């Protein structure tokens, strides 16, 4: 519903009624609640208020079913003279916290049309086992009082790149924190030390989901914070990666220009504690299967555990040792590029994918947004990240020698757990890594992932705790993970758990039975509306003729049914409710 624009300080804008109803009266326009879905429809409140402001009938009973603030505003306008309703509406909004949003919602409605129906919620994953009620939380990770920096980063990133999924920005923010910490805090559990490095992989179709935008924001902030020297080059061979983690000057060092020499020396401060940001991660995944770069896979697997000493022996380079290694990885790729590697059973059994947090978008297609104007990196975000890296945590001591650079790593800080944290952590670990596996329903390929997810959750909690600790004006000596930190870590881990199920549901392992199971999973997620053969093929990444053959077989077995849409020539397939 369009409105007149007014200058600042003038009277509220008057509503411009559509020509079709300018001369209509209340008696000439009927309003039958039976034609509209009022209860549970988020558009019903704005719609009813729009009718009131356009001087069209609205039953008081319908307003009383809408809940606040729509009920309050609607009832307040009912007894108001018709000519004063717009002014009264504007006055009421002055006392509403979300007045602007309410006004925009109301004025976007067509008072003559039907109430827009809410978009159907995406069907839950049928093979995604829910946590026991005792472990579930009604709060999202952002609704806890802790983790202030990460919440601020995600809020800014969502404004700067609104078409990128919020989960992408969340992973980018965690990558920044993980890179800044650089192996300088740990949690001692028995004889094992847990460090805060993370491996994360964003998987989404190109163009629509703006994966690169999310990565570019994190890279820009890393540079603004003076931490870009901790980044590795995106392309690496096994030999070059070991060399980058070391302190020995390359053979060609003297031929470099002064700027490159200085940068290489600056990078030695954290030579073995690096962040790896990769816009197209399929290059790394493909290298795992090539003969001349096959050594990258065991190296990447080993570096995840942050070994104190990792030795590499080659004929050309001889013996090279990496001291106090720490690698954080954030990459992005497409389903088609990662499909071959997801279907490779060896990558599930060797622990590669168990080490990764897999991030897929929650929404099928993001809403359109153009470049936001006047967006700059908030100074406090880069300043606080810099302070974490170079002020709050101990710094390595670097000493240059004739042919080498000697780095003395600092003593890492131990992390403590508040009393409530350990039992909550144990309960989550037992549920995922024991109870759910024994109960069945979890794809066997995901067993290693379920067995490590509680570790990833604790790493997140440690990152949130250290940033909160670093931001205190007077830091306490002890670095503690509070219960709220853990609850945030678990909530984020649950985002990743659901995400990896979404990813697996899009791929079959190659044989016909697995492909059929995959199509059934896709159609169950589509719910009663079903999907066309073309849509199923796009989700399953299969050719049209293969999809049609599989759908026909499933239909003959009674597992799915085809539906001819009324008024349309399209045919959709769906899973009957009793299956």
The token pair at 547 is 């999809």
SS3 361: coil
CA distance 208 to 206: 6
In which element (H, E) is residue 409 found? none
Return the pLDDT at 222: 96
CA distance 174 to 463: 8
Question: Cα–Cα distances in Å, from 534 out to 150, 335, 501?
Answer: 40, 17, 22
Dihedral sign from CA coordinates of 566, 571, 573, 576: positive
Residue with tokens 């490095």: 197
Residue with tokens 């549920």: 431
The token pair at 400 is 């240059």
Return the pLDDT at 434: 94
pTM for the predicted model, two decimal places: 0.70
The token pair at 234 is 């995106």
Helices (H) and strands (E) in the chain, counts: 22, 14
Q: Which of 350, 367, 347, 365 is nearest to 504 (CA)?
A: 347
CA distance 52 to 31: 12
Is the distance from CB of 86 to CB of 14 less than 8 angstroms? yes
How many Cβ atoms are within 10 Å of 233's Cβ, its own excluded? 11
- Strand order of the β-sheet with 413-417 is 192-194, 185-189, 413-417, 479-481
Could you confirm whether domain 512-574 is CATH 1.10.10.10?
yes
Question: Cα–Cα distances in Å, from 553 out to 106, 516, 539, 577?
Answer: 49, 9, 18, 19
CA distance 466 to 181: 8
What phi, psi does 304 have (nearest 5°)?
A: -60, -30
Dihedral sign from CA coordinates of 280, 284, 290, 291: positive
HEC per residue, 473-520: CCCCCCEEECHHHHHHHHHHHHHHHHHHHHHHHCCCCCCHHHHHHHHH
- What does the DSSP 8-state code read for residue 199? E
Residues 6 or more apart whose Cβ sits within 8 Å of residue 237: 292, 293, 296
Residues 6 or more apart whose Cβ sits within 8 Å of residue 421: 461, 481, 482, 483, 485, 486
HEC per residue, 128-175: CCCCCCCCCCCCCHHHCCCCHHHHHHHHHHHHHCCCCCHHHHHHHHHH
> Would you call 278 exposed, middle or buried from its count of C-beta atoms within 10 A (0-12, 13-18, 19+)?
buried
Which segments of 54-98 does DSSP mark as H helices, in order? 60-63, 70-78, 85-93
- What does the DSSP 8-state code read for residue 312? E
Domain chopping of the chain, boundaries? 19-107, 141-505, 512-574
Return the pLDDT at 119: 63
For the chain, 579 residues long, give each residue's pLDDT as a single digit of tens. Answer: 433 333 333 333 334 443 333 333 333 333 444 344 566 677 888 888 888 888 888 877 777 777 667 877 888 888 888 888 888 888 888 777 677 778 888 888 888 888 887 765 555 565 688 899 999 888 899 999 999 999 999 999 999 999 999 999 999 999 999 999 999 999 999 999 999 999 999 999 888 899 999 999 999 999 999 999 999 988 888 888 888 888 888 778 888 888 888 888 888 889 889 999 999 898 888 888 777 677 888 889 999 999 988 766 554 555 667 889 999 999 999 988 888 888 888 888 888 999 999 999 987 678 888 888 888 999 999 999 999 999 999 998 888 776 678 888 889 999 999 999 999 999 999 999 999 988 877 888 899 999 999 999 999 999 999 999 998 877 667 899 999 999 999 999 999 999 999 888 776 444 555 677 778 878 887 778 888 888 888 777 777 888 888 898 888 778 889 887 765 667 889 888 755
Is the distance from CB of 203 to CB of 357 less than 8 angstroms? no
CATH placement of domain 141-505: 3.40.50.300
Please state at what angle helix 166-181 crosses helix 379-387, rounded to 10 degrees: 30
């Amino acid at each position: 519903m369009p409105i007149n624009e007014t200058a600042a300080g003038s009277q509220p804008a008057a509503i411009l009624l559509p020509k079709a109803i300018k001369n209509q009266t209340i008696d000439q326009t009927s309003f039958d609640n039976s034609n509209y879905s009022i209860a549970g429809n988020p558009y019903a409140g704005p719609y009813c208020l729009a009718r009131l402001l356009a001087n069209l009938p609205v039953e008081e009973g319908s307003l009383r079913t809408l809940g606040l603030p729509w009920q309050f505003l609607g009832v307040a306008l009912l007894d108001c003279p018709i000519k004063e309703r717009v002014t009264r509406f504007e006055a009421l909004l002055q006392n509403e916290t979300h007045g602007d949003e309410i006004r925009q919602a109301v004025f976007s409605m067509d008072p003559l049309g039907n109430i827009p129906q809410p978009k159907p919620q995406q069907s839950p994953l049928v093979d995604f086992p829910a946590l026991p009620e005792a472990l579930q939380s009604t709060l999202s990770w952002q609704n806890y009082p802790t983790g202030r920096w990460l919440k601020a980063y995600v809020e800014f990133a969502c404004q700067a790149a609104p078409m990128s999924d919020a989960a992408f920005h969340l992973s980018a923010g965690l990558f920044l924190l993980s890179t800044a910490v650089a192996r300088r805090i740990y949690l001692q559990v028995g004889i094992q030390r847990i460090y805060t490095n993370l491996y994360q992989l964003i998987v989404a179709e190109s163009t629509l989901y703006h994966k690169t935008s999310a990565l570019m924001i994190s890279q820009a902030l890393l540079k603004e914070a003076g931490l870009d020297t901790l980044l590795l080059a995106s392309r690496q061979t096994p030999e070059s990666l070991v060399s980058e983690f070391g302190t020995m000057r390359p053979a060609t060092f003297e031929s470099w220009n002064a700027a490159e020499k200085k940068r290489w020396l600056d990078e030695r401060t954290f030579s073995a504690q690096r962040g790896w940001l990769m816009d197209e991660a399929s290059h790394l995944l493909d290298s795992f299967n090539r003969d001349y770069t096959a050594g990258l896979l065991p190296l990447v697997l080993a570096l995840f555990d942050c070994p104190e000493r990792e030795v590499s022996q080659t004929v050309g380079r001889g013996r090279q040792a990496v001291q106090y290694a720490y690698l954080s990885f954030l990459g992005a790729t497409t389903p088609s590029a990662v499909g071959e590697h997801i279907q490779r059973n060896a990558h599930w059994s060797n622990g590669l994918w168990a080490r990764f947090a897999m991030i897929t978008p929650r929404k099928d297609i993001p809403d359109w947004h153009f470049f936001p104007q006047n967006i700059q990196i908030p100074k406090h975000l880069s300043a606080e990240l810099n302070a974490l890296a170079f002020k709050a945590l101990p710094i390595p001591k670097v000493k240059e020698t004739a042919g080498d650079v000697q780095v003395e790593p600092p003593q890492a800080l131990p992390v403590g757990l508040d009393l409530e944290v350990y039992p909550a952590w144990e309960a989550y670990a037992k549920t995922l890594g024991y109870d759910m596996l024994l109960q069945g329903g979890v794809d066997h390929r995901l067993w290693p992932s379920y067995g490590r997810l509680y570790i990833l959750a604790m790493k997140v909690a440690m990152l949130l705790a250290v940033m909160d600790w670093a931001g205190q004006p007077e830091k306490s000596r002890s670095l503690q993970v509070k219960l709220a930190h853990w609850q945030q870590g678990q909530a984020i881990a649950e985002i990743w758990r659901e995400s990896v199920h979404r990813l697996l549901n899009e791929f079959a392992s190659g044989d016909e039975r697995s492909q059929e199971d995959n199509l059934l999973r896709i159609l169950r997620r589509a719910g009663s509306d079903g999907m066309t053969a073309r849509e199923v093929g796009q989700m399953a990444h299969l050719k049209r003729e293969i999809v049609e053959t599989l759908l026909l077989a499933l239909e003959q077995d009674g597992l799915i049914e085809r539906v001819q849409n009324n008024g349309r020539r399209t045919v959709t397939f769906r899973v009957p409710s009793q299956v």
